[in-house]
Structure 1
Amino acid sequence: MDSKIELIFQKNKIGLGRRKKSVARVFLVPGKGNLIINKSPGDKYLQYNSNYLVKVWNPLTQLNLEKNFDIIALVNGGGLTGQVSAIQLGLARLLCQIDKENRLILKPTGLLTRDSRIKERKKYGLRKARKAPQYSKR
């Protein structure tokens, strides 16, 4: 059993995705279409949110492979939305790593683009990044 686990988690067969503060390491295993996130069922982890589930499975549905693979994802940091986007990017990158032909299908749909928007830092003299204290003329 341990040798099978070691085969799944090989360093060169990993899809790394990031979004905001979230980092996802994604692994693909031949299977029946199960989703496992941080050692728990994916639908439970994503709080049975259908939008999140559709977004995670999007790269595989684009390639008509959703019932051929199980997705194992290890995520940390950020919130659920960022983690879902990170898993999606990691999965798309892994699919391109497996077969170069997949890139031609995934690239036009924007699944290989890293969303670089992150939280802006707080500046001194302000309450948040841009919110200033109330100004009073008199």
Structure 2
Amino acid sequence: MADLQDLKEITGEAAVEAAGATEERKPVVDAQGRTYATGKRKDAVARVWIKPGTGKITVNDRDQEVYFARPTLRLIVDQPFQVSDRVGQYDVIATVKGGGLSGQAGAVKHGISVALQRAEPELRAALKTAGFLTRDSRVVERKKYGKAKARRSFQFSKR
């Protein structure tokens, strides 16, 4: 290496090699043919397994219609399949802990989206543009001392 030109050539070749070394994503499937992912929303954490099947969704050993009684929550859970045109092609088994039903539905949706992307990497673009692969980081603000709630002060008394 005599001068900066040699350094440019070396780094240029390394950049070309690094660009060529990027492989396509491969499906991540276990021995039973399942794909696993963790989804999170608010305080809820969902462990999600998907496998090719008939579209049956089980949450905490209960059917989706029983666990998520409100239709809006079931709609949230089904969104990743509708965006990726995979309705009725995968069975879902989810275990959810923490938070309320709304947060749990969001956590299952996030887990299904990540698992779908791991099972079929070509679906990543559709799920990413819909915003399903991004973890919604909004959580409840903590209560501060000297305050009634996180921000609300106690009622002021002039006299």
Mapped partners of 2:89, 2:151: distance in 1 = 48
Question: Which structure 2 residue ranges, 5 or more long, are not aligned?
Answer: 1-30
Deviation, 1:69, is 1.0
Mapped partners of 1:110, 1:97: distance in 2 = 16
Question: Residue 44 in 1 paired to residue 62 in 2?
Answer: no
**TM-score (normalised: structure 2):** 0.77
Mapped partners of 1:37, 1:17: distance in 2 = 13
Deviation, 1:136, is 2.0
Higher relative contact order (CA 8 A, sep 6+): 1
Deviation, 1:68, is 1.0
The structure whose residues are more often helix, as a share, is 2
What is the SS of the residue equivalent to 2:129? coil
Which of 61, 65, 68 is 2:86 aligned to? 65
Per the alignment, residue 55 of structure 1 pairs with 76
Deviant stretches of 4+, over 4 Å: none
**Residues 8, 27 of structure 1: 8 Å contact kept:** no
Question: Which structure 1 residue ranges, 5 or more long, are not aligned?
Answer: 1-5
How many matched pairs?
129
Q: CA RMSD in A?
A: 1.4
What percent identity do the matched residue pairs reach?
40
Cα displacement string for residues 72-119 of structure 1 (whole angstroms, at most 9, x for unaligned residues): 111011100000000000110111111221111111111111110111
